[in-house]
Amino acid sequence: RGGIVDDVALAKALREGRLAAAGLDVFEGEPRVHPDLLACSNVVLTPHIGSATVPTRKAMANLAADNLIGYLTGGKPVT
């Protein structure tokens, strides 16, 4: 997913004011972040932890359990 964003073009758009701000959680070439993005003051960069909330992690665990139950009982997994 990180490859979807052109880091250089995004940083340029941020510097030039064509974009007010950006927030990214996934980067091409993780864990490295392109230096042009690091130089921008109007960008929020997080280390691939965007889903690290209690409700989201509970939902992920429940989905994994539902998939396992579906597989083990001969049914179809949810996803």
Q: Could you write out the DSSP letters of every residue in the chain?
A: -GGGS-HHHHHHHHHTTSSS-EEES--TTTT---HHHHT-TTEEE-SS-TT-SHHHHHHHHHHHHHHHHHHHTTS----
Catalytic residue among 15, 16, 30, 57: 30
Catalytic residue among 1, 15, 16, 32: 1
Q: Is 1 a catalytic residue?
A: yes
**Is 18 a known active-site residue?**
no
Catalytic, 16? Answer: no
Q: Return the active site residues.
A: 1, 30, 48
